[in-house]
A and B are shown apart, each in its own frame.
Chain A
C-alpha cells in the first residue's frame, strides 16, 4: 500500500514541478506577446511559428552568457540569493489543489501534493522566506544600487504581507479552515468566496501584485531608477533565476487567487453535466488552469496599463489604506458571522 502511494506522490510532485516551470517559461513569452499586442505590435514571432520557441532561445542565451561574480561580493551569499528565490518559488505549489479527486483502480487520490491543515499559513511562511532571497542577493552584491533595491523590495514585501494576511484572516473566519483543499471544497457547495468577500479579494489582489514585485509595484527592480535594483550585479542564469522566480510566483499567486476566491477547480453546474469520476476531474483541472491563465493575463494586462508608484505612495497605500481597509473588512466579517450565529439575539 505504502510504496504505491509514495510513487504516486513522486509522480504528482514531478508533474506539478514540470507544469510550474513550463507555465513560468511560457509566461515570459506571453508577457512579451501581451506587451506587443497592447502596444499595437506583434511581439516575438521569429523563433518558430508565432515565436513559440522564444523561451528556449531566451534560456539558451541566459545559459551561454558570462557567469560573473564581482570581486567585492560575498561569494557564498551571492550564489545563495537566487537559489533561495527559486527554491521558495517552487515550494509554494505543493498545497494548491489542482483538481478534484481521481480514482486509480480502487484508490481515490487527490490532485494535491499535500493537503496540510495549515496550508495558508505554510504559504505565507514560504512567501516570507522568499524575501530573504532578494535581501541576501542585494546585500551580497556589495553595491549601493543593489542594496537600495533590496531594501525597497524587503520593506515593500513586509508591508504588504500584513494587509495580505489580514485580508486572508477574514476569509479564514468565514470558511473556518486554513486548509486550501477544504476552502475549495466549500466553494463547491456554496458560491465562490469573491461574492462574500469582494473587499477582501480586492485587498488580496493588490497585495499579491506587490508581493510578486509586479507593476505597478515593481519598485525593487525599477530599471530606470535603480539600474535594475537588487539584481544589478547578477548575470547569466543567476539573473535568469531571479526573473524566473518572479514568473513562478506570478503563476502560484494566480492559482492562489483562483482557488481562494474564485472556486478553485469548481465551475458552475458541474454536477448537472452528467460527468463522473475521472472525467469530471479532468474537466475541473482544465477549468482551474483557465482561471489561472486568466489571472496571469490580468497581471500582464495591469503591467502594461499602469505606471509605477512612487515609493512614498506605495508605503502610504500599504499602511494607510490597505491595512485599515483589511481591518475594517475583518470587523464587518466578524459582525456578519456573529449575527448569523445568533450572537446578537438578546
Chain B
C-alpha cells in the first residue's frame, strides 16, 4: 500500500566511489540546512503571541455565580466523585441566616480545593455538576515555583462579579438543547 509518493526503495548495494567520499552528500545536506535558514520560522513568541485554541478547550476551572452574585455550588460532591484524578476536595457548610445573598442553596462549600497538578482536565466534573457551578475555561493554569501554589482554593476558583467569565463558548449544541428542556430546569430560582 502506498501512503505517500515520497517513499524510496532502499537497496543494500555496495556504495560507489562517489558515494564513499561523502562530499556530494555533505554538500546536499548543507544545501538543505541553508534553505531552512531562510524559511519562515514556526515559533510562537509566547507571552506576546498566543496560539489559537479550540472552542472546547479545557483549561483552568471556574466556580460560577448566578446573575445575582450568589455561588451556585451546593457542595453535593458529585464533581469530586466523578474526578478520576481525585483532584477535588470540599467541605460542606450550612447557610446561616442572612447569607442568602451569597449562597444560592441552604448548603454550600466552605472549602473547595482543586489540585491543579493532579487535575487531568478531562472535564468530568463539569459534566457531573447538576447545578452548573463548575466549568472549565480557556484559561491556562499559570506556572509557579511551589507545589502548594497549585492547590487552588475558593479565592482563585470562584469568579469575581466584576470580571465574570464567559463559559458559553464551551457549551456544545447538545448541552444548549439540554438546557432548553424545561423538564431539567433545576437551576431556576424557586
Contact = CB atoms under 8 A, between A and B. Distances in A.
Q: Interface extent on B, as a size class?
A: 10 to 19
A10 interface: no
A336 to B, nearest CB: 23
B30 A40 contact: no
Given A37-B36, A38-B36, A39-B36, A305 B41 contact: no
Contacts of A17: none
A301 B43 contact: no
B29 interface: yes
Given A305-B26, A305-B30, A306-B29, A37 B42 contact: no
A302 interface: yes
Contacts of B30: 301-302, 305
Nearest to B27: A305
B175 interface: no
Contact of B33 (A38, A41, A42): A38
Contacts of B26: 305-306
B29 A41 contact: no
Contacts of B34: 38, 301
A151 B39 CA distance: 41
Interface in B2-55: 26, 29-30, 32-34, 36-37, 39-43, 45
B33 A40 contact: no
A305 B29 contact: yes
29 contacts: A34-B37, A37-B36, A37-B41, A38-B33, A38-B34, A38-B36, A38-B37, A39-B36, A40-B36, A40-B39, A40-B40, A40-B41, A40-B42, A41-B41, A41-B43, A42-B41, A42-B45, A301-B30, A301-B33, A301-B34, A302-B30, A304-B33, A305-B26, A305-B29, A305-B30, A305-B32, A305-B33, A306-B26, A306-B29
Closest 8 CB pairs of A and B: A305-B33, A37-B37, A38-B33, A305-B29, A40-B42, A305-B30, A42-B43, A41-B43
